[in-house]
Amino acid sequence: MGLFDNIMGALSNATGMGSASLKSAYLDQKAPKGPGVYKITYRGKLMKVGKASDGLRKRFSDYYRGEAGGTAGLKYITEHNRDSVYVSWKECSSSEARDIETMWYDQAKERGEELPWSDRR
């Protein structure tokens, strides 16, 4: 690990925020195990915001492996595009996650983003 990686890791741990490819978030265990909120980006476009009460790493693992579940992103993330999917996250309590998810969603909609992988209407 280089100096930059060490600095970024320390900042991520201190703020509870981070970002990585979906692959690294899961396989390299970059994402934290705790609950939080996340954004999914594909080809530079915000596709979804969500919350993971069961843990961010578990959610990213489900997305990467294509595990069936109740999350909207699973029908869009495939073996063919999963290595081009990027995630960013904020670790927070499950009780905070819903409010932050709603705030991020509303902010994205106000900017005119469509969030095509989101299951919200």
d(CA 76, CA 104): 20
Among residues 90, 74, 94, 70, which one has the least CA distance to residue 82?
Answer: 74
pTM of the model: 0.85
Instruction: Give the model's pLDDT for residue 68.
Output: 64
Per-residue pLDDT of 47-88, as tens digits, reads 999 999 999 999 999 999 987 666 767 789 999 999 999 999
Class of CATH domain 3-110: alpha beta
In DSSP notation, 12-42 reads HHHHSEEEEEHHHHHHT--S-SS-EEEEEEE
Domain extent listing, the chain: 3-110
Mean pLDDT of 101-118: 96
Structure tokens at 65: 């492996």
Per-residue pLDDT of 4-16, as tens digits, reads 444 545 444 557 8
